[in-house]
Amino acid sequence: MAATERHPFELAKGINGLDKIILRESRGRSAEIYLYGSHVTSWKNENGEELLHLSSKAIFKPPKPIRGGIPLCFPQFSNFGTLESHGFARNRIWEIDASPPPLPSNSCSNAFVDLILRPTEDDLKIWPHNFEYRLRVALGTEGELTLTSRIRNTNSDGKPFTFTFAYHTYFSVSDISEVRVEGLETLDYLDNLKNRERFTEQGDAITFESEIDKIYLSTPTKIAILDHEKKRTFVIRKDGLAGAVVWNPWDKKSKTISDLGDEDYKHFLCVEAAAIERPITLKPGEEWKGRLELSAVPSSYSSGQLDPKKVLE
């Protein structure tokens, strides 16, 4: 199905016949979203360059979640609870939401899709809460990719529910050793490689030379990933998401992940806008909103050095 004014997206068949949505912007930028997991698998700039990393061994076969892109972790991040790792939203088939409640700001985008997930009877057996999870994915006129999650408690038994959440974004980078992250320095974090003990980040920007799996707490609304070699900076803007996870499995851990190529770790970095340390609780009728906006901009230089301050301004 081609895009029209009423349906500002295309519907197509993806890998293994799975349904996918394609968003296109007039200058050639695009994004792809699988209904399986409401999973963004591709985000391309005007030169057709892929900005997200999709594993070279990604398996597009339910119930295995897709490795790479932007998996949605809901209603549980990692093993912070009794559900499967990262919850079940990423391995359910979502539906297109034909009549979503209006969202205030979508003025800068005419390529977007609204998707919805409601629990099945089987889901209610493992997580006994009725909810509506609405996701809007929009490709802006400047090429920015925006994901807006709206999660509503629709329990009729009067019970609140609590969840943790993350946009588990795999950014494509030229070489992990050449990358730095700005915006998380001096913050507290839980180190997943040290029994989630709490530490404080020291010094400058974060650089990478070994496995990392950290949950940063109380993070700013803007974080930047500077890719020296590509001369590209990703700017992450987030609302409603206090945490940020930084993950790269490096060589040894990668070999234990069956759907990740051995060399893939060199070419991605996960920086995940998240709500983990302070889980979200919703009473019946209440709605939570968590917004992620990603842009890729040329890096600015000053005397041969990257100038992250300019980027974060």
Cβ distance to ligand TA6 smaller for residue 47 or 82: 82
Q: Are 43 and 51 in contact (CB under 8 A)?
A: yes
Q: What is the CA radius of gyration of the chain?
A: 19
Q: Is 27 exposed, middle or buried (0-12, 13-18, 19+ CB in 10 A)?
A: exposed
- Residue selected from 136, 168, 228, 291 as contacting ligand TA6 according to rule CB under 6 A: 168
β-strands 287-298, 232-239: how paired?
Answer: antiparallel
Q: Given the complex with ligand TA6, which of 11 and 83 has the nearer CB atom?
A: 83
* 168 in active site: yes
Nearer to ligand TA6, 74 or 247 (CB): 247
Output the smallest distance, CB 167 to ligand TA6, in A.
10
Is there binding between residue 41 and ligand TA6 (CB under 6 A)?
Answer: no
Closest to ligand TA6 by CB, 112 vs 216, is 216
Alpha-carbon span 166 to 138, nearest angstrom:
18
DSSP 54: B
Instruction: Single out the catalytic residue among 32, 168, 228, 277.
Output: 168
Site for ligand TA6 in 55-74 (CB under 6 A): none
What are the φ and ψ backbone dihedral angles of 266, each rounded to 5 degrees?
-70, -20
- Asked if 201 contacts 184 with a C-beta cutoff of 8 angstroms, the reply is yes
Q: Closest CB to ligand TA6 among 135 and 245?
A: 245
Question: With the CA atoms of 30, 34, 39 and 44 taken in that order, what torsion angle do they form, in degrees rounded to the nearest 10?
Answer: -20
C-beta closer to ligand TA6: residue 153 or 164: 164
Token pair listed for 61:
């076969």
CB of 245 to ligand TA6, least distance (A): 4
Q: Rounded to an integer, what distance in angstroms lies between the CA atom of residue 79 and that of residue 91? A: 16
How open is the CA angle 62-171-188, to the nearest 5 degrees?
Answer: 105
CA distances to 35, 89, 153, 154 from 132, rounded to whole Å, are: 16, 11, 7, 7
* Residue 272 annotated to the active site: yes
207 binding ligand TA6? (CB under 6 A): no
| Pair of tokens at residue 102 | 């209006």
Total binding residues toward ligand TA6, as defined by CB under 6 A: 10
Question: Which region among 78-86, 123-131, 134-142, 233-241 touches ligand TA6 (by CB under 6 A)?
Answer: 78-86
> Which parts of 87-146 interact with ligand TA6 (CB under 6 A)?
none
**Per-residue interface string for the shown chain with ligand TA6, residues 241-280, x marking contact by CB under 6 A:** ----x-x----------------------x-x--------
Tell me the closest approach of the beta carbon of residue 294 to ligand TA6, in angstroms.
Answer: 17
Using CB under 6 A as the binding rule, whether residue 214 contacts ligand TA6 is answered as no
DSSP letter for 12, please: E
Catalytic residue positions, numbered: 168, 272
- Which residues form the interface with ligand TA6 (CB under 6 A)? 78, 85-86, 168, 192, 213, 245, 247, 270, 272
